[in-house]
């Protein structure tokens, strides 16, 4: 049996952010690989009118947990959902629950975070820094704790081009930031935010960097490690390929491209898109948990979960594969045929934005007005472009992450552990992965019907014919206008027509001679 899987059996595991994308994949793998684990405590808040129990029921009944429901029929009994809101001072955990957590927890996986790039600094700090600090304080009071694993992001130091598995300190100490958030009002915080975040693009990356510093400072006496994934995509292999239930990362770009709304993305075609499958991140995280608990490294180790250095996926290749896949597995109700253009040049971006986004939206809105409907495309397009522009910082650049610790860990695993907890992306086939990505988006995220694919393909063929007809008509109108207004255009036109005529006559004559 796998040593790592055996380690988690009979353990009490605390997970924050278990209702999130990565948290669910983490729980699923734990139940599937170590069905004899004692209990998983999850800190959950009620949301969207659902109680804790309803949320847990919903998670356990989703497609992701299909295999777990068979392997571990009593899975419901092994999850202890604890009411908690991490943005509140004492996490709002009841006294009894807190006592149980403190006395029983063996391992903590801290995944909860606000991942929005545009989160106000106050709430980003509250969740990504203060909550981390408080969880570390709690961890310090747990006599049975063996390891604390903190999920950060490979982009926490994205102002650097080359990133090592170390902590890069922020100029202002986290304690000072936390303290200032207590007495500054919102208006002043908004004003100083750009100065504080400095070269970072948003409050997310800044607060995650502060969170790492807190982990380093407050976790000195704990057995602690940090995992830094890059852009997390759907599962690669486990429990099945293509599982995704989040719009984060690049899913929004893919959906907008699949619906034909977005054709241009600010990317340098030769740049690398550092995608990493969710199951790879989770396998590494579980291996890190085991290694930290059992081998107790003397210093806190940071592990990069990235793909670019060993199996680079270039933007151009991704654009081509995405277009091909979206033809094969189209998304429902496309506005246009998917097509991808990548550039970072400002002039080129403005040109393509006008020609392939705004012009189309205006024409479509005009068509809606003519057919007695309310125009909506320009508004929708502007919203999407605004959203996508906030991702531009990440799409227009490339980074290099070193992975010495991750490779060291891989070398420490037995062949069986390397197989069961595979985090080696050298053999990942990107074309296959993109196909499963689109399938996953269609099936699990958008919940579209697979049986509708032939109909959508037919619709796409109609759109292609309209596109050709529209372009040919536009070309002929332009020619006609030019010929009517310019002698030179007329000369060129007559030259082309007489050239074609002569060529055809020559071709016919030579065929007759041969006959
Ligand atoms: C791909 C094809 C394009 C063509 C290019 C072709 C080029 C050829 C070669 C290139 C190939 C293509 C390669 C592209 C790859 C680029 C790679 C880089 C991508 C960069 C991704 C960034 C990831 C960075 C990861 C950093 C690591 C982390 O740790 S991230 C943690 C995860 N966090 C996130 O990912 C959160 C990011 N998101 C946000 O913070 C917010 O969404 C936002 C701040 C970005 C935007 O907020 P906003 O309020 O504006 O939007 P939102 O609330 O999300 O939505 C507003 C409404 O708009 C609707 N909407 C949004 N998208 C769509 C859509 N696609 N279709 C329809 N409707 C959409 C949305 O539903 C909202 O509607 P309402 O709910 O009704 O308001
Ligand atoms: N996805 C990605 O591309 C990447 C993610 N990461 C990191 O991985 C971790 C997990 O990310 P991911 O799963 O994608 O994120 P999600 O947004 O999917 O999940 C976030 C989780 O945090 C919980 N949470 C947020 N606020 C609170 C709160 N106040 N109290 C209790 N719980 C709260 C959410 O609960 P609720 O369901 O109630 O909202 C949810 O379970 C994060 O630390 C993130 O920084 C790093 C790199 C890339």
pLDDT digits (tens, 9 = 90+) for 380-431: 999 999 988 888 899 889 999 999 999 999 999 999 999 999 999 999 999 9
CA 328 from chain centre, in angstroms, equals 22
Query: What is the Cα–Cα distance from 160 to 180, expressed in whole angstroms?
Result: 26
In the reported structure, the alpha carbon of residue 236 is separated from the centroid of ligand 2 by a whole-number distance in angstroms of 20
Question: Do 342 and 352 form a contact (C-beta atoms < 8 A)?
Answer: no
Question: Do 349 and 472 form a contact (C-beta atoms < 8 A)?
Answer: no
In the reported structure, the alpha carbon of residue 388 is separated from the centroid of ligand 1 by a whole-number distance in angstroms of 5
In the reported structure, the alpha carbon of residue 247 is separated from the centroid of ligand 1 by a whole-number distance in angstroms of 7
Query: What is the Cα–Cα distance from 422 to 287, expressed in whole angstroms?
Result: 9
Question: Do 296 and 147 form a contact (C-beta atoms < 8 A)?
Answer: no
The strand ranges marked E within 388-498 are 400-401
Question: Do 223 and 296 form a contact (C-beta atoms < 8 A)?
Answer: yes
Q: Which of 26, 39, 207, 203 is nearest to 132 (CA)?
A: 207
Q: State the closest ligand 1 atom to the C-alpha of 394, by its place in the atom list counted from 1.
A: 20
* Test site for ligand 2: of 14, 15, 16, 22, most ligand atoms within 8 A of the Cβ: 22
Q: Determine which helix (DSSP H) or strand (DSSP E) holds 277, and give its type and residue range.
A: strand 275-277
Q: State the closest ligand 1 atom to the C-alpha of 388, by its place in the atom list counted from 1.
A: 45
In the reported structure, the alpha carbon of residue 385 is separated from the centroid of ligand 1 by a whole-number distance in angstroms of 9
pLDDT tens per residue across span 275-289: 999 999 999 999 999
- Ligand with an atom nearest the CA of residue 388: 1
- Ligand with an atom nearest the CA of residue 59: 2
In the reported structure, the alpha carbon of residue 423 is separated from the centroid of ligand 2 by a whole-number distance in angstroms of 21
Query: What is the Cα–Cα distance from 420 to 104, expressed in whole angstroms?
Result: 27
Query: What is the Cα–Cα distance from 327 to 458, expressed in whole angstroms?
Result: 11
- Per-residue confidence (pLDDT) for residue 380, from 0 to 100: 92
* Cα angle value 352/393/120 (rounded, 5°): 120
- 3-state SS string over 195-209? HHHCCCCCHHHHHHH
Residue bearing the CA closest to ligand 2, atom 1? 232
Contacts of residue 366, Cβ cutoff 8 Å, sequence gap at least 6: 375
Q: State the closest ligand 2 atom to the C-alpha of 55, by its place in the atom list counted from 1.
A: 37
Residue bearing the CA closest to ligand 2, atom 28? 86
- Per-residue confidence (pLDDT) for residue 368, from 0 to 100: 93
**What single DSSP character describes residue 83?**
E
> Which residue is it, tokens 């502007």?
382
Which residue ranges have their beta carbon within 6 Å of ligand 2?
A: 17, 19-23, 43, 45, 47, 84-87, 111-115, 127, 151, 153, 208, 229, 231-232, 246, 248-249
Which residue ranges have their beta carbon within 6 Å of ligand 1?
A: 115-118, 153, 155, 231, 248-250, 252-257, 262, 265, 267, 269, 273, 315-316, 318-319, 322, 340-342, 383-384, 386-387, 390-391, 394-395
Global ipTM:
0.90
pLDDT tens per residue across span 49-79: 999 999 999 999 999 999 999 998 889 999 9
Sequential pLDDT tens for the chain (515 residues):
899 999 999 999 999 999 999 999 999 999 999 999 999 999 999 998 999 999 999 999 999 999 999 998 889 999 999 999 999 988 999 999 999 999 999 999 999 999 999 999 999 999 999 999 999 999 999 999 999 999 999 999 999 999 999 999 999 999 999 999 999 999 999 999 999 999 999 999 999 999 999 999 998 889 999 999 999 999 999 999 999 999 999 999 999 999 998 887 778 889 999 999 999 999 999 999 999 999 999 999 999 999 999 999 999 999 999 999 999 999 999 988 888 787 878 888 888 888 888 888 998 899 999 999 999 999 999 999 998 888 889 988 999 999 999 999 999 999 999 999 999 999 999 999 999 999 999 999 999 999 999 999 999 999 888 888 888 888 888 888 888 888 888 888 888 888 888 888 888 888 877 77
In the reported structure, the alpha carbon of residue 237 is separated from the centroid of ligand 2 by a whole-number distance in angstroms of 22
- Per-residue confidence (pLDDT) for residue 187, from 0 to 100: 96
Q: State the closest ligand 2 atom to the C-alpha of 17, by its place in the atom list counted from 1.
A: 41
Q: Determine which helix (DSSP H) or strand (DSSP E) holds 14, and give its type and residue range.
A: strand 12-16
The strand ranges marked E within 96-253 are 107-110, 147-151, 162-163, 224-229, 231-233
* Test site for ligand 1: of 156, 308, 380, 383, most ligand atoms within 8 A of the Cβ: 383
């Amino acid at each position: 049996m796998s040593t790592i899987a055996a380690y988690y059996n009979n353990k009490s595991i605390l997970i924050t952010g278990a209702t999130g994308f990565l948290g669910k994949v983490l729980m699923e793998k734990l139940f599937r690989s170590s069905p004899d684990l004692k209990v998983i405590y999850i800190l959950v808040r009620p949301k969207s009118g659902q109680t804790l129990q309803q949320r847990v029921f919903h998670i356990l009944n989703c497609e992701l947990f299909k295999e777990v429901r068979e392997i571990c029929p009593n899975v419901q009994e092994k999850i202890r959902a604890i009411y908690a809101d991490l943005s509140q001072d004492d996490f709002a955990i009841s006294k009894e629950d807190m006592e149980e957590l403190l006395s029983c927890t063996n391992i903590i996986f801290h995944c909860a975070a606000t991942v929005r790039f545009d989160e106000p600094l106050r709430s980003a700090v509250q969740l990504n820094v203060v909550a981390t600090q408080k969880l570390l304080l709690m961890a310090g009071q747990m006599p049975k704790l063996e390891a604390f694993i903190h999920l950060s992001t490979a982009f926490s130091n994205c102002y650097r081009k080359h990133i090592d598995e170390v902590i890069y300190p922020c100029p202002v100490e986290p304690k000072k930031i936390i303290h200032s958030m207590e007495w500054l009002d919102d208006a002043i915080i908004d004003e100083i935010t750009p100065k504080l975040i400095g070269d970072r693009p948003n409050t997310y990356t800044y607060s995650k960097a502060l969170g790492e510093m807190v982990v380093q400072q407050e976790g000195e006496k704990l057995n602690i490690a940090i995992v830094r994934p890059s852009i997390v995509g759907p599962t690669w292999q486990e429990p099945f390929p293509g599982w995704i239930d989040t719009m984060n990362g690049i899913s929004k770009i893919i959906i907008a491209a699949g619906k034909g709304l977005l054709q241009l993305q600010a990317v340098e075609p030769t740049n690398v898109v550092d995608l990493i499958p969710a199951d790879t991140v989770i396998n590494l995280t579980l291996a890190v948990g085991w290694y930290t608990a059992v081998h107790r490294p003397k210093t806190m180790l940071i592990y990069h979960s990235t793909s670019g250095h060993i199996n680079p996926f270039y933007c151009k290749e991704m654009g081509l594969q995405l277009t091909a896949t979206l033809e094969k597995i189209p998304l429902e109700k496309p506005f246009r045929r998917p097509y991808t253009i990548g550039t970072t040049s400002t002039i080129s971006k403005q040109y393509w934005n006008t020609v392939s986004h705004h012009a189309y939206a205006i024409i479509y809105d005009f068509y809606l007005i003519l057919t007695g409907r309310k125009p909506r495309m320009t508004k929708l397009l502007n919203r999407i472009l605004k959203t996508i522009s906030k991702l531009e910082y990440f799409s227009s650049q490339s980074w290099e992450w070193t992975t010495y610790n991750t490779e060291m860990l891989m070398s420490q695993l037995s062949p069986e552990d390397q197989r069961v907890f595979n985090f080696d992306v050298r053999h990942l086939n990107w074309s296959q992965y993109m196909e499963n990505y689109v399938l996953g988006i269609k099936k699990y995220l958008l919940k579209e019907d697979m049986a509708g694919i032939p109909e959508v393909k037919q619709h796409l063929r109609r759109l292609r014919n309209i596109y050709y007809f529209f372009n040919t008509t536009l070309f002929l109108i332009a020619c006609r206008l030019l010929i009517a207004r310019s002698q030179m255009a007329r000369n060129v036109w007559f030259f082309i027509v007489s050239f074609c005529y002569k060529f055809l006559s020559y071709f016919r004559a030579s065929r007759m001679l041969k006959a």
